[in-house]
Amino acid sequence: MLNIVLFGPPGAGKGTQSHKLIEKYKLVHLSTGDILRSEIAAGTALGMEAKQLMDKGILVPDVVVIGMIRSKLEQNKNANGFIFDGFPRTEAQAKALDDLLNELKTSISVMLALKVDDEELIKRILHRGQDSGRADDTDALIIRKRIEEYNAKTAPLANYYNAQKKFVPVYGSGTVEEIFSKLCGEVEKINKQQ
């Protein structure tokens, strides 16, 4: 199985690149942000609770997102592999993901980490907010809060994956195609090793 953690701050291009990667490598895309937004759209209790936090740019509790990923992994046991987009975001989530994949007799192949400057992130998210319909994409203060949450709780995961020799930084500036081609270059290296 090819299991990729696509890592990076909000607005780094994880969603766009995930869609291109799943098409090319026939992987299952697991985005906790997308799953949460579909819970909100369906009006579930979980969605309503998560919305309160998401609208403020705060992470939802680990137990909620880990439960969502567990059920998606169970539903896709025969996949070629997975792209984790926006998950894990805390060390507890990263540990839980290792355990869940271990149960499926597989593991993370690589963490591809998109690097983009904060000011560029804010510009990109505000631009996306013009038609994404996301409340958390339209207010610069909330966007800054999301970046703060990322720097405090998520960025340290680079060390977690580095300790497993799985951390690969990729510079996220340039066109979508240029970045995609860099990501594919890294995936090809992994495919050769497997």
Report the C-alpha gap between 66 and 30 in whole angstroms.
12
Residue 89 in contact with ligand AMP, rule: CB under 6 A: yes
Residue 54 in contact with ligand AMP, rule: CB under 6 A: yes
Least distance to ligand AMP, CB of residue 23, Å: 20
Residue 125 in contact with ligand AMP, rule: CB under 6 A: no
Residue 36 in contact with ligand AMP, rule: CB under 6 A: yes
- For 110, the 3-state DSSP assignment is strand
Contacts of 154 (CB under 8 A, 6+ apart): 7, 9, 89, 90
Residue 32 in contact with ligand AMP, rule: CB under 6 A: yes
Residue 8 in contact with ligand AMP, rule: CB under 6 A: no
For 175, phi then psi, to 5°, come to -80, 165
Residue 60 in contact with ligand AMP, rule: CB under 6 A: yes
| Paired residues of 11 in beta bridges | none
Report the C-alpha gap between 93 and 74 in whole angstroms.
17
The smaller minimum CB distance to ligand AMP, of residues 20 and 194, is found at 20
Q: Applying CB under 6 A, which residues contact ligand AMP? A: 10, 32-33, 36, 53-54, 57-60, 65, 86-87, 89, 93, 136, 146
